[in-house]
A and B are shown apart, each in its own frame.
Chain A
């Protein structure tokens, strides 16, 4: 298993492995690597003859073999790419196995997979004969740094609040992060500083982020925020029942963490027993403080009513959701 850095070093020095497998759950990084391999292998950008691409679900091993065994035309090397290799049936994979022992030097066989099953003979074999490079997704806590560095490269600064807001709104996928950054950068035009209001104006909330924000707003009793998030979610097409179930989950977490805290558990145990990530614990406990046990019971009663009503009364589910949110954000619980 090689690291991405090692791969790039190889490519820079034009030492291209004939058998290359890129795997990982971060499509952005993999796409970058694929492009790098392509420009290292091929002489020109567009090379119809020597650049063949296949998708594992629609290809047979024979087609791939034919491609790799055919020598390059008017070029030193050729590239054969097979995407979504993890979707290839085992039988087909086995037929490629033979090639692995004796690859053609002029061909680079580039396989791309989301994940590899280490128990499959094919991958074990590949490990011995070729180079496997893993691309790990960015850890959540590394995102702020990543964003800042990306902006630094363009001489653009971002305020701390804006950065925090951005990270809370955009999920950890690099494609999304870059798309949203691009938008921001275009939006500010000639300016060189990104502020909170810029982020609020153009950045789109990922769907998961939206729902967490709603849970937080309700937990904090922030009526305006909760209402506008709830309306925004429904306007974006989220089914109100789904939003309800996520609200229930949020309060379930609040209740559990509160009970455990009252029973004097250690933070890491609370996080574990309640099933919440440890970095989120503080925020949850802050919110949970506002509610007594009786309050939680009453809130669960409201959830049940809303669930029943949404499913059987035929009334407008969105209006019912809003009505529920209005009840949940009352200014003072006990």
Chain B
């Protein structure tokens, strides 16, 4: 004898039995009491949350011999018929198989006749969104001018597929996914009456497996009882449901976030040993990864995640040290992997590769630190820029380990600050660069500009030979030469004779300061590149992904 599955045996018979849809129950009951019953209803919501049950209860309430009542008796002929899905005046139509306009025409014909023995003729159309356009149009005519003795109850999982004209003629009730606790309570009610012993924790697993649908939860419960008999052992439930243990899932995420590929692979092996499908494993990982992201973004996730308080705590601890970017990336990669696994030839290998890849990614935050370091490196290089020694060493010049920092040039147009003239030190300290700086401090912009572009050919006091490229040479008139000479005399504290020559680019002339700066820029870039390439994180990224570094740019911190 095949037994009645729990979902059928325990189908709600009264409004009070409808779990998780109190708002609907209350509204319908009051409508009946106040005699404000609309002629057409639309029940929307996921499958297995109570739409058909509510429709039947409502039909019973309207047509009950005691009625119209908010508590249908359940024993009069009308109630009994409806419970069995065989009411004469309550017609249940499956929208999936009766979608044509002819079916609706038949309905319209049928509707003209008064109910055989009940108060109302009630039409319950399930999955109504599957009707053809013509069928909808035919239906609309009836809805526009509905007969007094008829009521319509439509149910659908896809309300957006229903034409607006029909939608606007119905009173719409949105059935929600049933919360975990509510499902659990109903299950407890049922198992107690069925004489089945099962712990609360096991019931949570069963309830969660329903995914918000009471029918799915009850179907799961059937499975559990079929296997375990009347005494359900906790450890059996998990195995029976094919659920990867929460522990295993969390440890896997932990391993990945801690960049421990070896541990992740060990856990994958355990998953295989337990006989789980990797697709299921991945799906459950996605659920948890999603919860991690939500916990980081939202303080009180409430209904957004289906977890007990204890589980929430655990996940919060896991999410805390991780960077939000990392968690986002983790979630996205897992979501895509789930799709890949569907068509993957070897699910286990695909999963293993993903785990190795995830555990090898450099952290988002570490890149920011990397950038930080590069920037400060830049700064150091800029300030510690050594002055290039001239072609000839100064006689008796010692190799000074410490190079004077390049003093700031006055801003164009002469800044607000009065820069002081550099102290004139002894001859032993004098360099070409120092001369130029000194000229700057004496606020002689024209001379300064020219000297910047000049090449120090020879500095052997009292002789100072400087070279200018052709394009600047004309600027060096007699006045200019005199000016330079005076300044140089002051600086070197001795008589200086200045000679200005024209030099052509390409000659082995020492670099002007300007050219030096240009050269330093590209040197700096090279240095940056060098440093980046040698940084361990970048190295490991290169190692895993292959590829080359194209450019190194200082990125705005806000982006990373």
**Do the two chains touch directly in the complex (Cβ atoms below 8 Å apart)?**
yes
User: B-contacting residues of A (Cβ < 8 Å)?
Assistant: 27, 31, 53, 55, 173, 175-176, 179, 182-183, 185-189, 201-202, 204, 207, 223-224, 227-228, 231, 235-238, 294, 298, 309, 313-316, 319-320, 322-323, 326-327, 329-331, 334
CA distance A320 to B324 in the complex (A): 16
Q: Known: A186-B27, A224-B304. Is A309-B336 also a contact (CB below 8 A)? A: yes
Among A223, A298, A320, which residue has its beta carbon within 8 angstroms of that of B559?
Answer: A298
Give 6 new A-B contacts, CB below 8 A, not counting A179-B171, A183-B27: A207-B160, A237-B160, A238-B160, A315-B335, A315-B339, A326-B294
CA distance A322 to B174 in the complex (A): 21
B170 touches A236 (CB 8 A): no
Q: Known: A182-B38, A186-B30, A228-B304. Is A236-B556 also a contact (CB below 8 A)? A: no
Q: Known: A186-B27, A227-B294, A309-B336. Is A176-B158 also a contact (CB below 8 A)? A: no
CA distance A322 to B305 in the complex (A): 13
Least CB distance from B150 to A in Å reads 14
Mark interface residues in B403-426 (1 if CB within 8 Å of A CB, else 0).
Answer: 000000000000000000000000
Does B530 reach chain A (CB closer than 8 Å)?
no
CA distance A334 to B559 in the complex (A): 8
A224 touches B300 (CB 8 A): yes
Does B23 reach chain A (CB closer than 8 Å)?
yes
Least CB distance from B169 to A in Å reads 6
Chain B residues whose CB sits within 8 angstroms of the CB of A329 once the complex forms = 297
Chain A residues whose CB sits within 8 angstroms of the CB of B339 once the complex forms = 313-316
A319 touches B23 (CB 8 A): no
CA distance A188 to B36 in the complex (A): 13
Among B171, B174, B290, B559, which residue has its beta carbon within 8 angstroms of that of A182?
Answer: B171
Least CB distance from B504 to A in Å reads 46
- Among B30, B302, B332, B340, the most chain A Cβ lie within 10 Å of the Cβ of B332
> Which positions 232-286 of chain B face chain A at CB distance < 8 Å?
286
Chain B residues whose CB sits within 8 angstroms of the CB of A309 once the complex forms = 336
Could you tell me the dominant secondary structure of chain A's interface residues?
helix
B171 touches A223 (CB 8 A): no
Chain A residues whose CB sits within 8 angstroms of the CB of B33 once the complex forms = 189
Q: Known: A224-B302, A237-B157, A316-B339. Is A179-B27 also a contact (CB below 8 A)? A: no
Q: Known: A179-B38, A236-B159. Is A327-B328 also a contact (CB below 8 A)? A: yes
23 contacts between A and B (CB under 8 A): A176-B168, A179-B172, A182-B36, A183-B27, A186-B28, A187-B30, A188-B30, A189-B34, A201-B23, A202-B173, A204-B172, A224-B298, A231-B304, A237-B160, A313-B339, A315-B336, A315-B338, A316-B338, A319-B290, A319-B335, A320-B332, A323-B332, A326-B331
Does B26 reach chain A (CB closer than 8 Å)?
yes
Chain A residues whose CB sits within 8 angstroms of the CB of B36 once the complex forms = 182, 185-186
Least CB distance from A107 to B in Å reads 20
Q: Known: A202-B27, A224-B298, A224-B304. Is A237-B158 also a contact (CB below 8 A)? A: yes
Does B392 reach chain A (CB closer than 8 Å)?
no
Q: Known: A187-B23, A322-B290. Is A236-B160 also a contact (CB below 8 A)? A: yes
**Closest A residue, CB atoms, query B336:** A315
B297 touches A223 (CB 8 A): yes
Least CB distance from B384 to A in Å reads 32
CA distance A185 to B160 in the complex (A): 26
Chain B residues whose CB sits within 8 angstroms of the CB of A322 once the complex forms = 290
Chain A residues whose CB sits within 8 angstroms of the CB of B340 once the complex forms = 314
CA distance A164 to B244 in the complex (A): 47
Chain A residues whose CB sits within 8 angstroms of the CB of B145 once the complex forms = 53
> Which positions 137-171 of chain B face chain A at CB distance < 8 Å?
141, 144-145, 157-161, 165, 167-171
Least CB distance from B46 to A in Å reads 6
B171 touches A183 (CB 8 A): yes
Closest 4 interchain pairs by CB? A237-B158, A175-B168, A315-B339, A186-B31
Does B546 reach chain A (CB closer than 8 Å)?
no
**Closest A residue, CB atoms, query B38:** A182
Chain A residues whose CB sits within 8 angstroms of the CB of B331 once the complex forms = 323, 326
Mark interface residues in B1-36 (1 if CB within 8 Å of A CB, else 0).
Answer: 000000000000000000000010011101101101
Chain B residues whose CB sits within 8 angstroms of the CB of A224 once the complex forms = 298, 300-302, 304
Chain B residues whose CB sits within 8 angstroms of the CB of A236 once the complex forms = 44, 159-160, 174
CA distance A316 to B338 in the complex (A): 8
Chain B residues whose CB sits within 8 angstroms of the CB of A53 once the complex forms = 145
Least CB distance from B541 to A in Å reads 20
**Closest A residue, CB atoms, query B42:** A204
Chain B residues whose CB sits within 8 angstroms of the CB of A31 once the complex forms = 144
Does B342 reach chain A (CB closer than 8 Å)?
yes
Does B399 reach chain A (CB closer than 8 Å)?
no
Mark interface residues in B287-321 (1 if CB within 8 Å of A CB, else 0).
Answer: 00010011001101111100000000000000000
**Closest A residue, CB atoms, query B37:** A186
Chain A residues whose CB sits within 8 angstroms of the CB of B335 once the complex forms = 315-316, 319-320, 323
Least CB distance from B220 to A in Å reads 21
Mark interface residues in B165-188 (1 if CB within 8 Å of A CB, else 0).
Answer: 101111111100100000000000
Chain B residues whose CB sits within 8 angstroms of the CB of A55 once the complex forms = 141
Among B28, B158, B300, B336, which residue has its beta carbon within 8 angstroms of that of A313?
Answer: B336
CA distance A134 to B94 in the complex (A): 40
CA distance A232 to B157 in the complex (A): 12
Among B168, B293, B297, B303, which residue has its beta carbon within 8 angstroms of that of A173?
Answer: B168
> Which positions 458-515 of chain B face chain A at CB distance < 8 Å?
none
Chain A residues whose CB sits within 8 angstroms of the CB of B332 once the complex forms = 320, 323
Chain A residues whose CB sits within 8 angstroms of the CB of B547 once the complex forms = none
CA distance A294 to B558 in the complex (A): 10
Chain A residues whose CB sits within 8 angstroms of the CB of B141 once the complex forms = 55
B177 touches A235 (CB 8 A): yes
CA distance A326 to B329 in the complex (A): 12
CA distance A311 to B23 in the complex (A): 38
**Closest A residue, CB atoms, query B46:** A235
